[in-house]
Amino acid sequence: MTETTYVMIKPDAVASGKIGRIISRFEDAGLTIERLEMGILTREQAEGNYGEHKGKPFYEGLISYITSGPVVKMAISGEGAVKKCRTLMGPTNPAEAAPGTIRGDFGLVTDANVIHGSDSPESAAREVALFFGA
């Protein structure tokens, strides 16, 4: 089933010049970049995106990090886009991510793990709306 998901290249990957190499992974997998925008997230956007983590010990650090520099926000579509993007990204902890995945190849630590992607069609719809409007 064709679906749309949300993917964000995080500040560490933007700062280290990984944007093109990361985007090409999605395109090479047959996915379509429907929307793309580079910018710095506001605290409100960051809190909207990571609200489920509020109150956890790492929350404030996550918000500070994700708003610390430019990110690349994308709406990506294709057959099974949510699952396909999650597979391309690899596990959240780069140390557990296999070579060939985005986090396995470019990630260094869990706190700055190169990329964010929606984990379900429901969160994808919420995140695409948050960053690109309805």
In the residue annotation, 53 being an active-site residue is answered as no
The first and second tokens of residue 12, run together, are 């560490």
C-alpha distances (whole Å) from 66 to each of 1, 6, 12, 47, 118 are 31, 15, 9, 10, 15
The SS3 assignment for 124 reads helix
From CA 11, how far away is CA 119, in angstroms rounded?
20
Catalytic annotation, pick one of 10, 18, 86, 116 = 116
Angle at 29 between CA 24 and CA 34, to 5 degrees: 70
Listed in sequence order, the DSSP H helices in 1-58 are: 11-15, 19-28, 43-49
Q: Where in the sequence numbering do the catalytic residues fall?
A: 116
